[in-house]
Amino acid sequence: MQVPFVKMHGLGNDFVVLDGRVSPLPPMDAALASALAHRHLGIGCDQLVVLEPSSVADFKARFFNADGSESGACGNASRAIGLLHGQPARIETLGGILHATPTDAGISVDMGEPRFDWDAIPLAYAMDTLTMPVGWEELDGPTAVNVGNPHVIFFTPDCHAVPMDRLGPIIEHDPLFPERVNVNVATVESRSAIRLRVWERGAGLTLACGTGACATAVGAMRRGLVDRDVRVTLPGGTLRIQWGADNRITMTGPATESFRGSFELANYR
C-alpha cells in the first residue's frame, strides 16, 4: 500500500503529515509512528501528524512524537496544517478544538485556555504550580502550565547555558510528572521578548516548540514578568503569543511545506 505524505515544518520543528481526508490511512500506532519518524530508517521528523474526518470540527488532527507517543497538542504542527488547509479551520485535537487562520503575519492559531491546577498539568501530587518548590541541579522554582500538553518552565539568566541534553531527559522522566513533561528553559529579555529552548517530551531538543512558547509566555505573564503580548524567540525563529482577556491564547507565526512524496507501508510494518 502506497501512502502519500506531506513534509512540513514550523520554525524548523518538522512534521510528516498523513492526510486521511484525501486517501485511506493504515491504523496508526506507536511502532508505525516511530518507524516513520526515524531520521535514518524512516522519512524523519520530530512529530507525525495524522488528519482524519471529524464530526465536531472541519477535521481532526492527531500528533505523534518521534518515540511513538501521542500528544494532546502541537503548536507548530497546528500552524502547518492550517497552511495545508489554506482557509480558516476548526481543528479537533485531544487537547480541545483549535482555530487556525491564515493571516498576513503567518498562521494564527487560537490555542484555547491554559490550565494551572496541579492535577491538570498533571503532577504526581498537589503543589503550587506558579512557583513549584522543586529543583534539578541549577534549575529550580519552575512554573507549570498545560496548554493541551504538559509543560514545566524554568526562568534562567541565560537559557543557552543550560545543559539541556543532560537535564532535559532527567526532568522529562521525573516521577513528579506521571505523563512525562516538555521541559522549557527561558530567559526574559524585556516586557515583550522571551528567549526559549525546549526539550520536548518524546522528541528531545527541537529547533522550536509552539506549545512551549505558549506555555512559557503564559507562565511569564502569570508571574508578572512580561506583558500579555510577547515575542518568543527559539533557535528556529520567533512566534508572537497573546493571552487575551477571554483567557484564550493566540499563537502567530510561519509554517512551510517542504515536499510531497509517498512511502510503501510494508517497509515500515
Ligand X SMILES: N[C@@H](CCC[C@H](N)C(=O)O)C(=O)O
* Contact residues: ligand X, CB under 6 A: 13, 46-47, 63, 65, 71, 74-76, 149, 182, 200-203, 206, 209-211
- Catalytic-role residue among 45, 74, 159, 214: 74
Annotation marks residue 74 as catalytic: yes
Does the annotation place 149 within a ligand binding site?
Answer: yes
To the nearest 10 degrees (0 to 180), the angle between helices 75-85 and 210-222 is 120
Residue 119 CB, nearest approach to ligand X (Å):
17
- Distance separating alpha carbons of residues 128 and 119, to the nearest angstrom: 11
Does the annotation place 201 within a ligand binding site?
Answer: yes
Does the annotation place 146 within a ligand binding site?
Answer: no
Does the annotation place 75 within a ligand binding site?
Answer: yes
Does the annotation place 2 within a ligand binding site?
Answer: no
Residue 63 CB, nearest approach to ligand X (Å):
6
Residue 211 CB, nearest approach to ligand X (Å):
3
Identity of the residue, 101 or 265, whose beta carbon is nearer to ligand X in the bound complex: 101
Annotation marks residue 214 as catalytic: no
- Distance separating alpha carbons of residues 199 and 172, to the nearest angstrom: 8
Task: Write the CB contacts of 166 (distance below 8 Å, at least 6 apart in sequence).
Answer: none
Residue 74 in grid coordinates = 502541537
- Distance separating alpha carbons of residues 78 and 61, to the nearest angstrom: 8
- Catalytic-role residue among 45, 159, 209, 214: 209
Torsion of CA 81, 85, 90, 92, to 10 degrees: -50
Identity of the residue, 52 or 265, whose beta carbon is nearer to ligand X in the bound complex: 52
Does the annotation place 206 within a ligand binding site?
Answer: no
Identity of the residue, 182 or 216, whose beta carbon is nearer to ligand X in the bound complex: 182
Residue 188 CB, nearest approach to ligand X (Å):
20
Residue 105 CB, nearest approach to ligand X (Å):
18
Does the annotation place 168 within a ligand binding site?
Answer: no
CA distances (Å), origin 221, targets 23, 77, 108, 217, 241: 43, 24, 20, 6, 11
Identity of the residue, 179 or 265, whose beta carbon is nearer to ligand X in the bound complex: 179
Identity of the residue, 197 or 201, whose beta carbon is nearer to ligand X in the bound complex: 201
Residue numbers belonging to the annotated binding site for substrate? 13, 47, 65, 75-76, 149, 182, 200-201, 210-211
Residue numbers belonging to the annotated binding site? 13, 47, 65, 75-76, 149, 182, 200-201, 210-211
Give me the active site residues, please.
Answer: 74, 209
